[in-house]
């Protein structure tokens, strides 16, 4: 690399740092100690969103400390600066979204007992991504940091840079992937369970329905055993009785009681 190009890189680097540092020192001094984007995005909401949150220049200053940024500046400083500008805008946009979110949004408090019991979990509908995310973050459903440590360092570095382009930390992307897949599986599970319960409820009639079915069958059998002359004589009253059944409005106990009374009436007529 010739001396002119080296000088150009140094000047660009210094210019950007100076610009960002000036603005940061005037307006955002509490971001000075943040060395990484992960550290920035991991700040509590009240700190991250203070005075409107970090500016794009605050974020550029942090991005310049990254090993990939330094490598890009050595190879192509112009392209590197363009990429960092774009990256800082996306991160700032993401931070503004976070700061605009209502932290008081209500949701179920997912517990280990609910996770283990499908009926309990599906009782109020499949869990949402936000509910599952809260469970993972606050209840430590899995050791997220331990899982991230299993990723080879070279791949983790690339994944971290990719997450930053979207304004996320790698931890946030990892959690988002988990809850997206988990929420989908829970939705499928709860749908199947609801369909199964609906099918069972329709195929297994209630005791009241069974009682009515039994007496209705008995009434029909008794009617058939009557002589033709008796059926002919009782046909008008039988039709009137059928009309009166409508007053029960399909209430099973009412229908059962009326049918039992009619059975006694027909039995009395059959004995004559």
| Structure tokens given for 70 | 């330094």
CB within 8 Å of 55: residues ≥ 6 apart: 23, 24, 27, 28, 92
Q: Percentage of the chain surpassing pLDDT 90?
A: 0
Q: What integer best gives the mean pLDDT of the chain?
A: 75
Q: Which of 93, 95, 75, 97 is nearest to 85 (CA)?
A: 93
DSSP state of 29: G
Q: Which of 94, 28, 78, 30 is nearest to 57 (CA)?
A: 28
Based on its alpha-carbon atoms, the radius of gyration of the chain, rounded to whole angstroms, reads 37
- pLDDT recorded at residue 26: 42
pLDDT at residue 24 is higher than 60:
no
CB within 8 Å of 50: residues ≥ 6 apart: 30
| Structure tokens given for 170 | 């790698």
Report which of residues 2 and 247 the model is more confident about: 247
pLDDT tens readout for residues 117-167: 888 888 878 888 888 888 887 765 567 777 778 888 877 788 887 777 766
Burial letters for 188-203: b for 16+ Cβ neighbours within 10 Å, e otherwise? eebeebeeeeeeeeee
* Terminal alpha carbon distance of the chain: 122
């Amino acid at each position: 690399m010739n001396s002119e190009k080296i000088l150009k890189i140094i000047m660009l680097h210094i210019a950007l740092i100076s610009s960002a540092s000036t603005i940061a020192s005037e307006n955002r001094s509490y971001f000075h100690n943040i060395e990484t984007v992960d550290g920035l995005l991991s700040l509590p909401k009240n700190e991250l969103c203070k005075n409107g949150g970090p500016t794009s220049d605050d974020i550029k200053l942090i991005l310049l400390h990254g090993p990939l940024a330094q490598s890009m500046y050595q190879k192509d400083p112009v392209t590197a600066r363009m990429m960092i500008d774009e990256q800082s805008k996306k991160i700032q946009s993401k931070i503004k979204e976070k700061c605009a979110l209502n932290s008081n949004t209500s949701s179920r408090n997912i517990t280990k007992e609910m996770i283990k019991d499908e009926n309990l979990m599906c009782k109020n509908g499949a869990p949402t991504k936000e509910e599952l995310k809260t469970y993972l973050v606050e209840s430590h459903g899995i050791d997220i940091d331990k899982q991230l440590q299993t990723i080879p360092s070279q791949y983790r570095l690339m994944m971290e840079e990719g997450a930053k382009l979207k304004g996320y930390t790698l931890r946030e992307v990892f959690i988002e992937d988990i809850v997206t897949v988990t929420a989908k599986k829970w939705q499928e599970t709860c749908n199947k369970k609801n369909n199964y319960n609906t099918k069972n409820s329709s195929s297994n009639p209630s005791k009241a329905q069974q009682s009515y079915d039994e007496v209705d069958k008995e009434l029909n059998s008794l009617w058939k055993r009557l002589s033709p002359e008796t059926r002919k004589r009782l046909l008008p009253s039988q039709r009137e009785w059928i009309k009166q059944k409508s007053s029960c409005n399909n209430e099973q106990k009412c229908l059962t009681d009326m049918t039992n009374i009619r059975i006694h009436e027909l039995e009395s007529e059959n004995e004559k």
